[in-house]
Amino acid sequence: TADAELLIVDYLSCRVILLPTNTPATAQETAQLFLEQAFRHTGLPHTIVSDRDPKWLSEFWRYLMRALDVKQELSSARHQQTDGKAENAIKTIKGIMGPFLDYAGSNWKSLLPTLEYNYNRTPQTSTGLSPFEIDLGRVPRVPNQWVAPNPGEMIRQSARTAVERRIKEFADVSRIVQQRLRDAQDQQAKYYDRKKHTEAYREGDKVLLHREGIAITSVTTRNKKLAEQWIGPFTVRGKGPHPDTYKLELPKEFTGLHPVFHVSILRRYHDPSGTPYRQVATPPEPEKDKDGQETY
- Kindly state whether residues 190 and 237 are assigned to the same domain: no
Residue 45 makes CB contacts below 8 A (sequence gap 6+) with 10, 70
Distance CA 175, CA 14 (A): 21
- Kindly state whether residues 9 and 114 are assigned to the same domain: yes
- Kindly state whether residues 19 and 166 are assigned to the same domain: yes
- Kindly state whether residues 47 and 25 are assigned to the same domain: yes
Tens of each residue's pLDDT in the chain, 296 residues: 788 889 999 988 989 999 999 988 999 999 999 999 999 989 999 999 888 888 998 999 999 999 999 998 877 644 444 556 777 787 788 777 777 776 566 778 888 888 899 899 988 877 789 999 999 999 888 766 666 667 667 778 888 788 888 888 888 878 888 888 888 777 766 666 555 545 789 999 999 988 765 655 544 444 444 446 788 899 999 988 776 788 999 888 777 778 888 888 888 998 776 545 444 333 444 455 566 654 44
- Kindly state whether residues 127 and 235 are assigned to the same domain: no
- Kindly state whether residues 246 and 136 are assigned to the same domain: no
- Kindly state whether residues 69 and 122 are assigned to the same domain: yes
- Kindly state whether residues 127 and 15 are assigned to the same domain: yes
Domain assignment present for 249: yes
Distance CA 81, CA 245 (A): 8
User: CA geometry: angle at 225 spanning 220 and 228, to 5°?
Assistant: 65
Domain assignment present for 278: no
Work out the number of other CB atoms within 10 angstroms of the CB of residue 207. 21
Q: For 111, how many CA atoms within 13 A lie in the half-sphere containing its CB?
A: 21
- Kindly state whether residues 67 and 190 are assigned to the same domain: yes
- Kindly state whether residues 211 and 186 are assigned to the same domain: no
Q: How many folded domains does the chain comprise?
A: 2
- Structural domain range at position 252: 205-217+228-268
Amino acid at 134: I
Q: What is the DSSP letter of 57?
A: H
Domain assignment present for 110: yes
- Kindly state whether residues 13 and 99 are assigned to the same domain: yes
Domain assignment present for 6: yes
Residue 37 is part of a domain; what is its CATH number?
3.30.420.10
- Kindly state whether residues 38 and 174 are assigned to the same domain: yes
Domain assignment present for 14: yes
Report the number of secondary-structure helices (H) and strands (E) in the chain: 9, 11
207 touches 267 (CB < 8 A): yes
CA-closest candidate to residue 126, choices 90, 91, 85, 176: 85
Distance CA 282, CA 55 (A): 63
Domain assignment present for 254: yes
Cα-based distances in Å from 193 to 19, 32, 155, 164: 33, 41, 55, 43
